[in-house]
Amino acid sequence: MENSIEEIKQIILGYSDDYRKKLINWFARQNDTTQIEVFKLTQDYIKRYTENKQPTPQVHFAFFLKALISMSSIEQKLRKKELNSNEIKKAQALIINRIKTQKKSKTAKKAYKIKVLFYDLKRLHEEESLSFNDLVNYLSKMHKLKVTKAYLIKIYNKLKTNQD
């Protein structure tokens, strides 16, 4: 995947300075909603191409420019009323993909906190012989995390099978 990121950086950063400045000026003239959409699209590109690796600032900038190019071209075509049915479908596909990635990335906050504390919980349960009821009390008192015994067992077993 690293090669494709390098290719993307070269393609995006291959635009002239004037064109990049024009895109950034276009971005500055847009309302907050459009600017937020550009940032969302940038995040979508980063998630799609980096696969949970920490992207460099150059990659962020490259994908920001890529998002600016796609948003500005759609906006210009809308203004000129030149969108054909394929381009309308492409714009809708972008929105649908963004919604799908947002749904996938949602994780339960309690499950995430249990995942962070998993090794402590595992040590308490296996080495200190605390029951799940005791673990629920521990989470409630020490971490201000209110969970049920059934939920804790479910997440604990899922994490334990993933660990093995």
**pLDDT confidence of residue 149:** 94
Residues of the chain with pLDDT under 50: 1
- Please answer whether residues 45 and 63 qualify as being in contact, where contact means their C-beta atoms are separated by less than 8 angstroms: yes
**pLDDT confidence of residue 89:** 73
**pLDDT confidence of residue 127:** 92
Euclidean distance between the first and final Cα of the chain, in Å? Answer: 28
Distance separating alpha carbons of residues 121 and 115, to the nearest angstrom? 9
**59: helix, coil or strand?**
helix
- The pLDDT tens digits of the residues spanning 14-61 come to 778 888 888 889 888 887 777 888 888 888 888 877 776 777 787 788
**pLDDT confidence of residue 1:** 45
